[in-house]
Amino acid sequence: MSAEVTISSENFKSEVLDSSIPVLVDFWAEWCMPCRMIAPSIEQIADSYKGKLKVGKVNVDEQSEIAAQFGIISIPTLLVFKGGQMARQKVGALPKHEIENLFKDLL
């Protein structure tokens, strides 16, 4: 069982904006090969940092309003939120250590 949280418009505020710990949000789609490439790293990060970092996944095909709200035009896009504010953004398939560099100093 993965520690990742599925993010939707219904739970975005409670899971991301109101989170007491930083949140890494992965914007992805089923058909996106680069998204599939980083999925194992995202899952490992979710498990490794459980309790210190929340990891959420937004399927852009199912949650287009959230993607539009943050101007997501390319996927995978990773956003890091802290204290209800977007702190970091990175687009593309990144190696695990680069993904970790997005949030490590915010923990």
pLDDT tens profile 19-62: 999 999 999 999 999 999 999 999 999 999 999 999 999 999 99
The answer to whether 103 and 80 have CB atoms below 8 angstroms apart is: yes
Eight-state DSSP code of residue 104 = G
Q: Which of 25, 35, 53, 66 is catalytic?
A: 35
Question: Does residue 35 carry a catalytic annotation?
Answer: yes
Which residue of the set 7, 23, 25, 32 is catalytic? Answer: 32
Is 27 part of the annotated catalytic residue set? Answer: no
Euclidean distance between CA atoms 68 and 66, whole angstroms = 5
Instruction: Using alpha carbons only, give the angle 12, 15, 17 rounded to the nearest 5 degrees.
Output: 70
- Distance (Å, whole) CA 87 – CA 83: 9
Q: How confident is the model over 101-106, as a mean pLDDT?
A: 97
pTM value? 0.96
CATH number corresponding to 5-106: 3.40.30.10
